[in-house]
Amino acid sequence: MEVPILKQGHYLIASIQSALTDADLSQLREALIERVGRFRARGVIVDVTALDVMDSFAVRTLRDIAHMARLRGAETVIVGIQPEVAFAMVQLGLTLKGVSTALDLEEGLLFLDHQAQLRSERGTGRIDRG
């Protein structure tokens, strides 16, 4: 099943609706990385609220998305990890090191806004046209 990717301002939002196969995950990764460039996105949000299982491939793909998007100039945040999923991930040692996380979509948007603000304060971001 293909994951819909929505564009919201400077951000891309991918909301996963059901369990994904490895092929779906790879497809999601490619689509996101391609669109970061096409839409000149500054942030990517991957919403995993609907997932009640997260295997090592899924975690690795999410991490890859975050790192690849960063190379393309966008910050990624994973939102909506369920408590049980978080607990299981940690026990398996899948801790998404170096990837930002937030409670839900709203928090994720706030986080990205905050990051953008920090970047513009530091003067290392892109030129903001308002």
Partner 1 sequence: MATKGKDALPPSPDPQALSESTAALLRELVAHLRQNRTQLREEWARRITRAQLLTAMTEEEIFAEATSVYDNYVEALETGTFEALQAYARNLSERIIPRGVETHEVVGIVLLLRDVLARSLFGKYHGDFDKLNRILDAYEPAANRIANTVAVGFVQERERIIRQQQEAIRELSTPVLQVRERLLILPIIGVIDPQRARQLTEQLLRAIRTNRAKVVVIDITGVAAMDSNVANHLVQTVEASRLLGATVIVTGLSPEIAQTLVTIGVDLSEMATVGDLQGGIEEAERLLGYKVLPLEEITPKA
Closest CB to partner 1 among residues 27, 115:
115
CA atoms within 13 A on the CB side of 45: 26
Instruction: Please work out, in degrees rounded to the nearest 5, the angle formed at the alpha carbon of residue 80 by the alpha carbons of 108 and 33.
Output: 65
Nearer to partner 1, 76 or 101 (CB): 101
Q: Are 76 and 43 in contact (CB under 8 A)?
A: yes
Query: Do 77 and 100 form a contact (C-beta atoms < 8 A)?
Result: yes
Nearest to 11 by CA among 121, 124, 118, 114: 114
| 3-state SS class at 6 | strand
Q: Please pick, from the candidates 18, 71, 91, 129, the single residue that binds partner 1 as defined by CB under 8 A.
A: 91
90 binds partner 1 (CB under 8 A): yes
Cβ proximity to partner 1, 16 vs 35, nearer residue: 16
Closer by beta carbon to partner 1, 35 or else 48: 48
- CA gap 129, 57 in Å, rounded: 38
Among 8, 21, 95, 117, the residue binding partner 1 under the rule CB under 8 A is: 95
Exactly one of 3, 79, 112, 116 binds partner 1 (CB under 8 A); that residue is 79
Segment near partner 1 (CB under 8 A); pick from 13-21, 33-41, 67-75, 97-105: 97-105
Q: Which residues bind partner 1 (CB under 8 A)?
A: 78-79, 81-87, 89-91, 95-96, 101-104, 107-108, 111
